[in-house]
Amino acid sequence: MHASRDQSQSGARAHLLETASAIMRDGDIVDISLSELSQRSGLNSALVKYHFGNKAGLLSALLDRDWRAIVESVDALLARDGWSPQEKLRRHISKVIDTYYAVPYLNQLTMRMVRDSDETEAKRIAERYLSPLYKAYEELIGQGVAAGAFRPIDPQMFYFTVTGAVDRFFSARLVLRHCFGQDTLTEDLRDRYRDHTIDVIMAGILARGGQEESRGE
């Protein structure tokens, strides 16, 4: 009986998070109204208070959910044996692009939460998600430099390069609509951008005169 109730509560929580995500994806925004959340989810808005405390708590939980995929994947890559630094970096960039395709609001929501939260919550976000990613880049680039595959570059600048390139593209619906007559970020467009971005970034980080290894799957 208790297990069934716990599963129902867990399902409602997950459904609220996914509905909030859909609202932001569809509207190209980083905010939600509780009335729209209730209408689209079919759940009473009082459940937001029950599961998250308030709307800020909901957005914080959504941020945690969406960042987890990137952080867990980069941790797994760093621990992976048998892959070169080049292959690890290519796979990481691919994962970041796939994540931003699924949740294009991620960087904007992160910046909003850091800006609008109190010092404790802003520090938590930075320490749990932003700092680990920077440290992962520091380690990965260091591995590549030691192997003679990468030239020495600033991991902090690399972080901004990757995040900026991905965020700018997946928040560019208005540019697509008015400049290119396309209003939808399709899987084909995502795949083309993934290949393009990986090629450009890898060309910039490879040691001078070096060539990237053939792409393995």
pLDDT of residue 183: 66
Domains in the chain with CATH codes: 1-53 (1.10.10), 62-205 (1.10.357.10)
What is the percentage of the chain residues whose pLDDT exceeds 90? 56
Structure tokens at 203: 């060309």
- How confident is the model over 116-150, as pLDDT tens digits? 989 999 999 999 988 988 899 999 999 999 999 99
Q: How confident is the model at residue 43 (pLDDT cuts 50, 70, 90)?
A: very high
Token representation of residue 87: 């292959």
The letter for the amino acid at 5 is: R
Quick one: pLDDT at residue 177?
67
Q: How many CB atoms lie within 10 A of CB 61?
A: 17
For residue 20, pLDDT over 90 is answered with yes
Write the pLDDT tens digit of every residue in 53-76: 999 999 999 999 999 888 888 888
For residue 43, give the 3-state DSSP assignment.
coil
Integer-rounded Cα radius of gyration of the chain: 19
Confidence of residue 91 (pLDDT cuts 50, 70, 90): very high
Question: If you write DSSP's letter for every residue of 134-185 in order, what string do you get?
Answer: HHHHHHHHHHHHHTTSB----HHHHHHHHHHHHHHHHT-HHHHHHHHS----
Task: Measure the CA angle with vertex 198, ends 96 and 172; round to 5°.
Answer: 60
Q: Are 39 and 16 in contact (CB under 8 A)?
A: no
- Spatial CB neighbours of 29, under 8 Å, sequence gap ≥ 6: 23, 105
pLDDT at site 166: 86
3-state SS assignment for residue 206:
strand
- E strands, the chain, are none
- The reported pLDDT for the residue numbered 209 is 57
